[in-house]
Structure 1
Amino acid sequence: MKTKEVLQNGIHDEIESKSLKNAAAISVSTIINKHMKRAIYLASLVGIGLLFNSCIGGYIATEPAYVEYSRPQQPSSLHIWIDGDWYWSNQSHTYVKRNGYWVQPRPNHTYVVGYWQTSPKGRYWKSGYWQRQGHQGRNRHR
């Protein structure tokens, strides 16, 4: 009878010990999962912030200084001069000047010259573009 009780107590202790070990393992696993979720969430927020920060840009307080340069010779009387414009550099976070160039006009199009636009965030460059004739536009090329 005593051996039966000893065996039952031994089995009971073993089951209880395994349950405690499993509970501890589950608890540690839960804590690790919780921290991993938090780390992934924070990394996602930082990544999204960096993405939007790199997309934002192009706004400045004052226009950059215009640098004079000489026009190259006109290739033919059919070519028109397109004034230089500005483009936003994500590396330096500044506007960089692009020199003008000679080009043959597109048929039935007029070139609309780029200009500095003012907004509540600051000033930004609106690039020039070719516009189909008959449409309204600003600053038409002469």
Structure 2
Amino acid sequence: MTRELPREIKRLAKAELAALAQRARGLHLGVGRRADWITEHIEDGRAAFMRAILHEPSPQPCHRTLVLARRPDGGVEHFPLDVLPGDFVALPDVSPAQLLGLAWWALDRVPISGLPLEYQAEWDRARRGEPLESPGEYLTP
């Protein structure tokens, strides 16, 4: 029997995140960061984001989640945290505006891919002033 995972992305404050980490530790669930570490290293006043990635049946049924949270130094923490299903459901969903902001923020961090080698070679020839391939070669079927 497979269990359906929630598809929502949740937002939570630093205090909620620390409380969930403390609860997970007390229940012997997976804790990617302890509550004291979260309190010390996660930025105040910014929402963290959580999504469920799988269902864990033991030591008690829970959702393995991934948490994305900012550090005060501008860095990011992305770590697992096991959360009881009821605790996950009780968290507020990310609003459409927050989701759009999160997508823009994440996309800004993905580096632009380099040119394929054949394109780079053509670019290098053009920069050196060497003739490029005839435009007719691209137009013939």
The two structures have a TM-score, normalised by structure 2, of: 0.24
Higher alpha-carbon Rg = 1
Select the structure with the greater relative contact order (CA < 8 A; seq sep ≥ 6).
Answer: 2
- State TM-score, norm by structure 1: 0.24
